[in-house]
Amino acid sequence: MNEDNMKYIAKICENTWEPLYRYVYYKVQNREEAEDITQETYVKSLSYSKFNEIEPDRYMAFFKTVAMNIIRDRWRKSKIMGTNANIDSIPEIEVSTDDMEDTANRQLFIKRSLSKLNEDQRKVIELRIINGYSVSETAKIMGIKAGNVRVLQYRALKNLVVIMNEKEDCHDQ
């Protein structure tokens, strides 16, 4: 690629990386992995032999599909050696207007489910997961021992999964 072509590629990356990164981040929820997957998405997308057949207005959708495949692939592998989660249930953001509505509904659903927990369980989740405090910081704020924070958050999440499953079943019916 000559210098001019690289400038065009740079412009494309500059104009598209942010929504793509946000999309990936909402799936993986950590910066390290999101950066990694975003970079890999561009490498794979731009070396795809049929990329020129894609309509320009579908580029972002294509980038997101490639990113999703990378995430699926990584998590399939990690099932053998590391973490695993149901990525389809992680809300997406800004895939399209409809998806934004889905995201808002999903977020509302999560908030409502959280509100069903008792006060201590809700508090521990708020501090540990939403505010990102460490176990010792959370223990200090809540006036309990660190070990109790771990047990409390474990029970809170177990209850939350039950609540969410029940709500989803009701919704399905």
Partner 1 sequence: MINDVKKLSAFIDCLNNEKKPVIRAGSEELDSLYDAVRQIKSLKSPVMPDHDFSDKIVENLNERKKKSTKSRRQALIGGIAGIAAILVIALLISNMIKNTGIVYAMEQTYSKVKAYHGILEVMFNNEAGETHIQSLLDVWVDKNNNYYIEVLEGSYKGLKTVRKEGKVWQSSIEKPVFPVFSETYEFIFELGNEIDRLKSAESIRIIGDDNIVGRNAYIMEVTPKGGLPYKLWVDKETKIPLKKQGEMSKAIQYITAYTNINFVDSIPAELIEIDPDAGFIEADFDTDHQADTIENDEPVRFTPEFKVEVDMDVEKADQLSADSGSSPWKLDPVYVAQVFVSLQISPEGIVGDYPVDYDDFVIAEKYENSVKIDVNSEKTNIKTVYLERLIRQDDTGIWTVTGYDVSK
Q: Scanning residues 87 to 116, which ones bind partner 1 (CB under 8 A)?
A: 89-91, 93-94, 96-97, 100, 106-107, 110-111, 114
Residue list 1-20, contact with partner 1 (CB under 8 A): 1, 5-6, 8-19
123/41 Cα distance (integer angstroms): 37
User: Total residues at the site for partner 1 (CB under 8 A)?
Assistant: 79
| Identified binder of partner 1 from the candidate list 141, 142, 144, 157, rule CB under 8 A | 157
Q: CB atoms < 10 A from the CB of 4, how many?
A: 8
Taking the least distance from each CB to partner 1, the nearer of 135 and 170 is 135
Write out the two tokens for 136.
């010792």
CB of 154 to partner 1, least distance (A): 5
97/100 Cα distance (integer angstroms): 5
Classify residue 167 as exposed, middle or buried by CB count within 10 Å of its CB (0-12, 13-18, 19+). middle
Residue list 109-148, contact with partner 1 (CB under 8 A): 110-111, 114, 125, 128-130, 132-135
28/23 Cα distance (integer angstroms): 9
CB of 143 to partner 1, least distance (A): 19
- Residue among 173, 37, 167 nearest 89 (CA): 167
- Residue among 118, 162, 116, 153 nearest 134 (CA): 153
112/55 Cα distance (integer angstroms): 40
CB of 27 to partner 1, least distance (A): 8
Residue list 61-80, contact with partner 1 (CB under 8 A): none
- Determine if 161 is a binding residue for partner 1 (CB under 8 A): yes
Taking the least distance from each CB to partner 1, the nearer of 9 and 69 is 9
